[in-house]
Amino acid sequence: MDKRDRKTLEQIYTDPSRTLTTWLDVEHLFVALGGFAEWTDKRHLGVKLNGHTASFRTTEDKSGRLDAADGERLRDFLRSAGVNEDTADDGETNR
């Protein structure tokens, strides 16, 4: 995981309602964590990680920032997929 991904993960876990993260950052993070992310249309991101799947409908296009609800849903999904706050430090997911 590179610096960009660590920063994205930190923002999501530190304060998901005030994150400056964009959906493109989220897409990049999922790939860095060994997952899969695919845009099914301009405002719909499907993701897979550690056997878990989710679909996020964004409030803006893929270059837009996450809103408070998006940040919280994303954090909850990452937790359910075994990714915790320490993942940014050790570069591993907890499976």
3-state DSSP assignment of residue 88: helix
The answer, yes or no, to whether residue 92 has pLDDT greater than 80, is: no
pLDDT tens readout for residues 26-71: 999 999 999 999 998 878 899 999 999 999 988 766 778 888 888 8
pTM comes to 0.84
Measure the CA angle with vertex 45, ends 14 and 32; round to 5°.
55
Give pLDDT, residue 89: 63
| Whether the Cβ atoms of residue 93 and residue 87 lie closer than 8 Å to each other | yes
Distance CA 62, CA 43 (A): 6
Distance CA 53, CA 15 (A): 23
